[in-house]
Amino acid sequence: MLKKLLLIISLLGFAQSYGQSCPLLTSPQNGDINVAVDATITWGDVTGVTGYIISIGTTNGGTDIINQRNVGSSTSFTPPVGLPENTQIYVTISLFFLNQPNIACPSESFQTEDVTTPPDCTVISNIVDGEVDVSVFTNILWNYASRATDYDIIIGTAPGLGDIANTNVTSLNFNPPGELPASTLIYVQVIPANGNGTAPNCPEISFTTGALATLPGCTSLISPSNGAINVPLTPLIEWQEVPGATGYRVTIGTGPSETNILDNTSFSTTSTFVIDFEPNRTFFITIVPYNSAGEAIGCSQESFSTLLGCGPYFDPVTGELVTLNPDLTFESVFAFCENEGALELTAPPGAEGYRWYSINNLGTETLLVEGDAITISQNGAYRLETYNTVSQSGNTLECPTLFDFEVVSSEIATINNLRIIDTALGLQIIVEASGNGDYEYAIDDINGPYQDSNTFNAVTPGTHTLYVRDKNGCGIAEETFMQDLTVEGFPKFFTPNGDSTNDFWQFVQPVSGDRIVLNSIRIYDRYGKFIKEITQDSQGWDGNYNGQPLPTGGYWFKAIDDTQREIQGFFTLKR
């Protein structure tokens, strides 16, 4: 099934819906002030967009700082040489699609800080201090120094001499005039500067050049060509052979500065396969030939985009956002009743294919069956994979939608006991139930309302039926709370003072109703300390503990009848 959501009817329609379709700056935000000159610019992601192009300038829509820089699918960009201080900066994000013209979003702006301190020192990035056999054609490269606007570079054959070069540049690299002297110890110092002065005490490094040789030239892509789209997901990357080159260093990433596919990997041939590129992505590739003299200088970066894949992507013909994955819904929890056999599940219709997996505790999946139905007899974690297929550039691609779900078993509850406690507001009934299920409780009506709590408060004396329902539909257990087991028959007080009236506390059989048979009557003080257990046919409790009279106060009892039903209540000892 194709999931199609109207995105735009035309470019004009898209332009009219900027508020929903164009990303907004997230850091710095539109209108921010005192923004650091070395800030990283970030923005929100837009569904269905292949990549982003950023321009930065000092006027609305301007490009005088950064001109149309493609950043791939990344939603952040750090200006390589920072931003000018105390300046209104305008950022324009353009949306890059594979099969339609780029769409420029409205510019947003912020004000940079007023820098009042000199910059920090930098680090030379392409040469290590003490390195030997450095090519005489080597350029000097360094990292951006925070708050720097320009750099003093001193190159010489002695510390601080500057006999090779002593100049100021605004870039992050310097190409010495001519080649460096061969087999010579060279000293280099790069000093960042701004309007407040130069960075103090910046280190000087030295290296030794190699013998004079000829550097190779740069190469270019043959396949896929620079700017190609709909490239297969496992392409053969092939480039032009360069005379005099003994090898090639290849870097591929999902952004201009990324190396997450290949990181400066060396090849002795002019081609390589790369396995399983992501679909619907732009990839950036730099190939640098090298030989014993060093690496080629100034080789440019090229790019290509993979086939559209499953989407979502923009279809310029229909003006819609297309997703090829099945658009389905599926429950996350299923239960089966242990007394009713296994669970039979059927996948929702609308996909070309289905696979069912079990998932173990380590998250590893095991294929159980292919097809739209499955029978499950064990609890656990499972996964349903639904998929459609699509043919693109000679390849068949599966577009899946995954549903993780849990299977639990359940059963009708067993009511083990009804605990009845006499309170000032009426009876409190606590239903004690057991079983392999998720239960809810109701009183006097099998249709509810049901509650998660197993306790019912302020129940009037009388006959009541308690219901325990399995939430997974495996049945309802019930137990009737009979009139015969209430606080009736248990005295509210007694006075053990030897006057032969109410000297003992004991259960008195009610006149009406069936005979009550009690297996035990246990007495506790108000702190829950056990005092005495009496039987139904005994004289009762005399108010003493270990032969000593207990003081006036409140005590409570718990009685259990011959059906294991329980009642609790309170009484008073008076002296």
Distance between first and last Cα of the chain:
85
Cβ atoms of 361 and 434 closer than 8 Å = no
Q: Quick one: pLDDT at residue 316?
A: 58
Contact 249, 265 (CB under 8 A): yes
CA atoms 53, 54, 60, 62: torsion sign:
negative
| 8-state DSSP, 340 | G
Q: Which residue has the tokens 């269905």?
A: 48
Number of C-beta neighbours around residue 4 at 10 A: 15
Second CATH level (architecture) for the domain 221-305:
Sandwich (2.60)
- What per-residue confidence (pLDDT) applies to 15? 37
Phi, psi (rounded to 5 degrees) for 270:
-110, 30
How far apart (Å, rounded) are the C-alpha atoms in residues 483 and 515? 11
- Residue 104, classed as helix, strand or coil, is strand
CA–CA separation, 351 and 387 (whole Å) = 6
CA-to-CA distance for 322 and 8, rounded, in angstroms?
12
pLDDT at 514: 72
The reported pLDDT for the residue numbered 487 is 63
Q: Residue 136 gets which letter from DSSP?
A: T
Query: What are the pLDDT tens digits along the chain (575 aa)?
Result: 333 333 333 333 333 333 337 999 999 999 999 999 999 999 999 887 888 999 999 999 999 999 999 888 889 999 999 999 999 999 999 988 766 678 889 999 999 999 999 999 999 999 999 999 898 888 999 999 999 999 999 999 999 999 999 999 999 999 998 889 999 999 999 999 999 999 999 999 999 998 887 889 999 999 999 988 888 888 899 999 999 999 999 999 988 888 999 999 999 999 998 877 887 788 999 999 999 888 898 899 999 988 777 877 666 566 667 788 999 999 998 988 877 778 899 999 999 999 999 999 888 999 999 999 999 988 899 999 999 998 876 677 889 999 999 998 888 999 988 888 877 677 889 999 999 888 999 999 999 899 999 999 988 877 789 999 999 888 999 988 754 445 678 888 899 988 888 899 998 887 666 788 898 999 999 888 999 999 998 999 999 999 899 999 889 899 988 877 788 888 889 98
pLDDT of residue 380: 92
Amino acid at 35: V
- CATH number belonging to domain 333-409: 2.60.40
> What's the fold here for domain 3-111?
Immunoglobulin-like (2.60.40)
Topology (CATH) of 493-573: Immunoglobulin-like (2.60.40)
Residue 546's contacts (CB-CB under 8 Å, 6 or more residues apart) are none
CATH classification (class only), 414-481: mainly beta
pLDDT tens digits, one per residue of 1-12 = 333 333 333 333
Whats the size of the chain, residue-wise?
575
What gap in Å lies between CA 148 and CA 167, rounded to an integer?
A: 16
Check if the beta carbon of residue 72 is closer than 8 Å to that of residue 254: yes
Query: Which is nearest to 339 in space by CA: 410, 290, 417?
Result: 410
Whether the full predicted model's pTM is greater than 0.95, yes or no, is: no
Residues in a beta bridge with 110:
89
Q: Are 295 and 126 in contact (CB under 8 A)?
A: no
Question: What was the pLDDT predicted at 73?
Answer: 85
CB burial of residue 359 (10 Å; 0-12, 13-18, 19+): middle
Amino acid letter, 102: N
H/E element, 19: helix 18-21
State the pLDDT at residue 484: 43
Pairing of strands 566-573, 414-423: parallel
In sequence order, the β-bridge partners of residue 91 are 56, 108
Q: Which amino acid is at 238?
A: E
> What per-residue confidence (pLDDT) applies to 513?
66
Do 465 and 441 meet the contact criterion of CB atoms below 8 Å apart?
Answer: no
List of residues 6+ apart from 104 with CB closer than 8 A: 61, 92, 93, 94
Distance of CA 298 to the CA centre of its chain: 40
Task: State both tokens at 198.
Answer: 């130069």
Q: How many CA atoms lie within 13 A of 322 on its CB side?
A: 17
